[in-house]
Amino acid sequence: MSTAVLGALPCSPTRHGAPALPAWTERVPAFAALALLPWLAVLAVGHETSWVVLDLLELAALISLDALLRRRSRAAIRPACAVAPLLAGDALADVGTAGTGLPLLAAVVMAGCVELPLAALCLALGRRAARA
């Protein structure tokens, strides 16, 4: 992802008057990683190998992002830029393979309320860390 795209993201402290992210948002990647653990167990029991691998990649990127944010490292932009397309791809795959009815509704709600906002927040956190 180019820095031009990252520069266009809202919700980060900028000189252009965009609102600053609250301090608690830096803990969201750690909580998201923690929330993935039970879901990974469910997927593993169901022998959903491809989904387990995708979610393990998301978990690793979220943990890396959290660790770098805690250190106030400018390198936090790297795992942020890794986790965002993983989450967006996960959302797209969930919606695309959901079928119809309630499974599709659940996939759309998860994509719109969890995965895509988390991807945007991770990018904003990474961008803020890179500018610090």
Calpha distance 1→76 (Å, rounded): 14
Q: Are 15 and 8 in contact (CB under 8 A)?
A: no
| Residue 18 forms part of a structural domain | no
| Residue 1 forms part of a structural domain | no
pTM (predicted TM-score) = 0.83
| Residue 15 forms part of a structural domain | no
Instruction: Tell me the average pLDDT across 57-79.
Output: 96
The boundaries of the domain holding residue 113 are 24-131
Q: What is the pLDDT of residue 91?
A: 97
Residue-wise pLDDT for 18-59, tens only, equals 568 899 999 999 999 999 999 999 999 999 999 999 999 999
Q: Exposed/middle/buried for 120, CB within 10 Å: 0-12, 13-18, 19+?
A: middle
Q: How many domains does the chain have?
A: 1
Q: What is the pLDDT of residue 15?
A: 56
Residue 122 pLDDT more than 60? yes
Least Cα distance to 86 among 53, 45, 38 occurs for: 53
